[in-house]
A and B are shown apart, each in its own frame.
Chain A
C-alpha cells in the first residue's frame, strides 16, 4: 500500500473527524458514529481504512490508557472494515455479471465487460481513470460513448444503504459478544459469559443507535464523501 503525503494528511483529518465524533457522543453510552464512519472509510478508502483503525486505537490508548479494550479495538474495527471490503468485492463480481447480461439501448457499449471492469481498478469505490483525468467523478456517466450509464460507484454505494444499516445494527448487537475474546483467556468461559451478559443492555442500545444513525446519516455522508472524492481529495 503506497501512501503519498496527501494520503497521510487526509487519513489524519479523517482520524480527527472520527475522534471528534466520539468525544461529542461520550455522554451517551454506546451511541457512536464510529461504526458508520468506519463503514464509509472502508467504502471510500479501501484498505487504507485499516490504517485509521490502528491509529484510532493508538489515539484512544493515549487518552484512556492501556486496558483490555485496546485488544478488542485492534480486532473489532478491522473486522468491520473487512466485512465491508468483502461486500464490495461481491458487489463488483455481481456488477461484472450484470454488465455481461444487460444491454441498455441508450448506451453505446462498444467495449466488453472486462474493459468496463478495467474502469474500476481499485474496486467499486475506486476512482475511474477517466474521472481522475477530468478531475471529477461523473455520477451520471461520462460523455465517452463507450462508458456504462447509470452504474457509477457512488450509485452502487448508495444502493447498498439498506445492507449497511443492517450491518451496523448487527455489529452493535454483537459488539459485546465479540469483545469477550480477551476474557476467555483472562478468566475462562465463565468470566467471558458473565461479562457479556452484564453488557447486553448496552449492546441493545448499541444495535438500535447504530441502525438509526446509519439510516439517517449514511446517504448525506455518502454525498459528502462523493463530493470530496470529486474534488480529488479521496
Chain B
C-alpha cells in the first residue's frame, strides 16, 4: 500500500511536470505572426557571392517562405526530412552535404545564428533570413 502510494505520487508528479512544460512552451516557444509580412532573404554561396530576395509573404515558417520563393522560380532548395526537421542539402543548385563536401548551409536571422531549423523558424515582419554556405573547417 505504501509502495502504491509512492507510485501514485510519482506518476502525478510526472503529469504535473508535463503540464508545466506545456505552459513553458506556450510562453516561450517560437511564435508566428499571420498576415502579409515583409521579408528579406540572402543566399551567400561558397564563393561569398550574395543573392538577395525581398518581398511579402504570409508564410508562418521559413520553410513556407522558401517554398514561396521556389514557386516564383528564382530560388531553389533541396533537403531531407530528419528527426530534427528539414535538413537543407542544397540551395540554388549548390550542394553542401557535411559527409561529402565538408560543408553545410547555415541559417542566420537578422545576422545572428539561427536557433531553429527552417520548418521551426517563424517568419516575422521585417526580418532578414540568410542562408550561408559554411565549411566545417572555418
Contacts and interface: CB of A to CB of B under 8 A. Distances in A.
Interface of A: 26, 29, 65, 162-163, 166, 169-170, 173, 187, 191, 193-195, 197-198, 200-201, 203-204, 207
A167 to B, nearest CB: 9
A170 B115 contact: no
Contacts of A166: 7, 10-11, 14
Given A65-B99, A169-B14, 12 more contacts: A26-B83, A173-B18, A173-B21, A193-B28, A195-B115, A197-B24, A198-B30, A198-B120, A200-B21, A201-B25, A207-B14, A207-B18
A200 B25 CA distance: 6
A1 B65 CA distance: 56
A173 B17 CA distance: 8
Nearest to A191: B115
A203 B21 contact: yes
A198 B116 contact: yes
25 contacts: A26-B83, A29-B83, A65-B98, A65-B99, A163-B7, A163-B10, A166-B10, A166-B11, A166-B14, A169-B11, A169-B14, A170-B14, A173-B14, A173-B18, A187-B115, A194-B115, A194-B116, A197-B24, A197-B25, A198-B29, A198-B115, A200-B22, A201-B25, A204-B22, A207-B18
Main DSSP-derived SS at the A contact region: helix
B104 to A, nearest CB: 11
A95 B30 CA distance: 50
A200 B14 contact: no
Main DSSP-derived SS at the B contact region: helix
Q: How large is the interface on B (under 10, 10 to 19, 20 to 34, 35 or more residues)?
A: 20 to 34
Given A166-B14, A207-B18, A200 B7 contact: no
A18 to B, nearest CB: 17
Query: Which 8 pairs of residues, A with B, have the shortest CB-CB distance?
Result: A200-B25, A194-B115, A162-B7, A166-B10, A197-B28, A169-B14, A170-B14, A200-B21
Given A166-B10, A173-B14, A207-B18, A200 B29 contact: yes
Contacts of B14: 166, 169-170, 173, 207
A207 B15 CA distance: 9
Contacts of A193: 28
Interface in B53-102: 83, 98-99
Interface in B1-54: 4, 7, 10-11, 14, 17-18, 21-22, 24-25, 28-30
Interface centre among B4, B10, B14, B22 (most CB of A within 10 A): B14
Given A65-B99, A173-B17, A195-B115, A200 B24 contact: yes
A191 B83 CA distance: 19
Interface in B102-138: 113, 115-116, 120
Contacts of A204: 18, 21-22
A203 B14 CA distance: 12
Contacts of A200: 21-22, 24-25, 29
Nearest to B115: A194
A163 B22 CA distance: 24
